Structure 1
Amino acid sequence: MEQHPQPPQGGDEQLPVNSYGTDDPERQAHIENARVDASRERADNREQLGRLAAAGVDPDDAEALIEFDRSRIEVREYYSPAPTEAEHAASQEHDRREPPRFYVSDLAAHEAGLVHGSWLDATKPLPELQEDIFALLMASPVPDATRYAIDETRGFADFEVTERTPLAVVSRVGKGIERYGFAYAAWTKVIDTHDLDLLDRFSDHHVGSYANLEDWAREFGAVSEWDKHLDEVVDPALRPYLAIDYARFAEDQREQWDVVEGSDGLVHVFLR
């Protein structure tokens, strides 16, 4: 005999609940945005774990570093709604710094006693820079000009551009400085700048920028909840007399981290 589903006793038939658990469009949108953010965070974590593993970092250490970076941001947002000294300085730097650019000189014209060159925007993609240089040489007052040199730079902070610096590196560093500021320029002092892939991984290595190294140690201690641990294990009568020597900790950790004093007056800390 054919069976028909019966409605539940004692009331109207209940409609199935959707995956959001609510019919409110605003709440559904909020839940969906949270799902997207969570998915993006998981994907970012997997990508960063892969990069750190490829660099030889132990998987457990890599996960701890990712968690530290995420916690550092959360602690700043919760405890420091106002900009920190380093963040304020970075904001001022962004307002005042000159965009990275360089002057290209036509060597054939120079050898003929003529001045022919142009300032180029270093933040442009490499193909566009190559086209600009080609156009410069095509317009040379000397026939068949093919050689050029970078004579001068602006806005590169700690990064030194020489006649041997490949144009691809100049473009990558220019875009990095435009996006991240002096911290990126400081990072070029501790890496092989000819490694183009490494130049794109600044955010994987940058721990933060601080007024001094002790500020970094204090932030590390806040994320690790050192004071809370001391409160739990030390006799309350002795606790007021115990304090963490953050300055010594910071100096001891120099061997584990890359620390660069930037031309902006800040201390930039990087993972090795």
Structure 2
Amino acid sequence: MNGNTQQAHSSLAVQGPRIYVACLAAYNNGCLHGQWISADQDAEAIRSEISAMLKTSPIDEAEEWAIHDYEGFEGAEIAEYASIESVAKLAVFVNKRGALGSKLLQHFCGNLKEAENAFDNYAGSYSSLADYARDLIEETTEIPERLANYIDFDAIARDMELGGEVFTIELGFEETHVFWSH
């Protein structure tokens, strides 16, 4: 790779979670003024960057802002007027948990606390819930060899899920993450 190609390629590199904060005074006067701000820092640092952006606004004494865009949150949604504290906490969570964390947030309807707590009951990643059921039963029960072929692990997995004992998050082909519900 030559220097120019490498430089162009590195500018396309994926960055951490960030938000685009716009000055509303400028926006309401037909002028776009804002800045991309890294969200994976503490709330006070984000507020400081917002304040600096507002000070450079083409509109004197601008003080209102809104989040007009965001990226790097693995599909988690950010509201236009989300609190900076919630954005910073979400960025830390997404950095730590990635796409699985984002899917958990969707599962818990955006409740970050519940998504964080779900990892206390994380059983692991399996090719399917039936494979998890097989592993669990083989680890906890001595199955006579002559009966092993008669056990329906798909049915056991289905019962576990329908009975509310577990829930799953699928991230891709044969990538099923299993969580105990209690």
TM-score normalised by L of structure 1? 0.53
The answer to whether the 8 A contact 2:104-2:115 is kept is no
Write the deviation string for residues 52-109 of structure 1: whole angstroms up to 9, x where unpaired. xxxxxxxxxxxxxxxxxxxxxxxxxxxxxxxxxxxxxxxxxxxx96522221111111
Please name the residue that 1:246 is paired with: 153
Structure number with higher strand proportion: 2
Correspondence for 2:82 among 156, 165, 187: 165
The answer to whether the 8 A contact 2:17-2:95 is kept is yes
Calculate the aligned-residue CA RMSD, in Å: 2.7
Please name the residue that 1:85 is paired with: none
Q: How does 1:83-232 map to 2 (within 5 A)?
A: 98-191=15-108, 193=110, 198=114, 200-224=116-140, 226=141, 229-231=142-144
Q: What SS does structure 2 have at the residue aligned with 1:115? A: coil
Q: What SS does structure 2 have at the residue aligned with 1:189? A: helix
Q: What SS does structure 2 have at the residue aligned with 1:207? A: strand
Letter in 2 for 1:143: D
Deviation at 1:200, TM superposition (A): 4.8
CA distance in structure 1 between the partners assigned to 2:22 and 2:48 by the alignment:
15
Deviation at 1:171, TM superposition (A): 1.3
Deviation at 1:202, TM superposition (A): 5.0
Write the deviation string for residues 167-215 of structure 1: whole angstroms up to 9, x where unpaired. 22221121111112111111112336456x5565453133323343333
**How many residues are matched?**
166
Please name the residue that 1:60 is paired with: none
Please name the residue that 2:178 is paired with: 269
Aligned-pair identity in percent equals 25
Instruction: Summarize the Cα distance change of 1:194–1:248 in structure 2 as closer, same or farther, 3 Å threshold.
Output: closer
CA distance in structure 2 between the partners assigned to 1:218 and 1:98 by the alignment:
39
Instruction: Summarize the Cα distance change of 1:115–1:176 in structure 2 as closer, same or farther, 3 Å threshold.
Output: same
Please name the residue that 2:167 is paired with: 258
Letter in 1 for 2:143: L
Structure number with higher helix proportion: 1
The answer to whether the 8 A contact 2:67-2:81 is kept is no
Larger Rg: 1
Q: What SS does structure 2 have at the residue aligned with 1:169? A: helix
The answer to which structure, 1 or 2, has the higher relative contact order (CA under 8 A, 6+ apart) is 2
The answer to whether the 8 A contact 1:258-1:271 is kept is yes
